[in-house]
Amino acid sequence: MKRFILAATAACCMSAVFSPAQALVIGQADTTNSYPFGSSGAGYYYQQVYSAANFAAPTKINQITFYNSLSPSTATPLSDVFTFYLSTTKGAVSTFDTDPMKYPDGSFTQVFSGTLSALSGGRLDIALSTAFDYDPSMGNLVLTVKDFTLGSGGNLFLDADKNTGVTNMRMSSYPYDFNQGLVTGFNDSLAAAVPEPATWAMMIIGFGAVGSMVRTSRRRNAFSAA
């Protein structure tokens, strides 16, 4: 019976370690947008803001995903080199598209630079080279995409969330009341290697219980031998 309890406790701890990460998808598709990955008309910079209210807690962002469900026949991204940055802003989501463009500075964290992989299953998954620790208390999340190539030949249209208040976008070419931020997933397909804080607590309690049982078993064995 004791061995069963030890094994069960250890199994619970191990299952906590390998439990899936919490994924978040922001926006509900009701239109499409070719900027910035299917058309260079957005200019050298594209920026998108995400309301901090979307995030229930601080989040380590390891992957960004965009979706191509409304226009599956348009799936060829530009072959340009894109550089991604993540940062925060105290600016409002609703006026983000008409505010002046903010270019990358020391407060921006570069998280990816390279060409885009092919779409798979209507998804454009981008594994970040540098994880970004986002704290919603610091303001709304901002994604900046730099593209100095401004190539041609792409026809990719991605799902966009229009006029819902959870995201917004702007272009370096000109300020315009656009309201077509791309539906975006954060860590959407990742299986977590790092447990959530609550999971860490369960693991510590579980390992403590295992250790206590082992010590008790050893003492009893020692008394029996005496």
Q: 156 and 218: one domain?
A: no
Q: 124 and 188: one domain?
A: yes
Residues shown for the chain: 226
What type of residue is 48? Q
Q: 73 and 165: one domain?
A: yes
Banded model confidence at residue 80, pLDDT cuts 50, 70, 90: very high
Domain holding 202, by residue range, is 1-19+198-226
Residue-wise pLDDT tens digits, 109-162 = 999 999 998 899 999 999 999 999 999 999 999 999 999 999 988 999 999 998
- E strand or H helix at 26: strand 24-26
Q: 89 and 146: one domain?
A: yes
pTM: 0.77
Q: 9 and 40: one domain?
A: no
Q: 202 and 151: one domain?
A: no
Q: 50 and 88: one domain?
A: yes
C-alpha 62/C-alpha 18 separation (Å) is 17
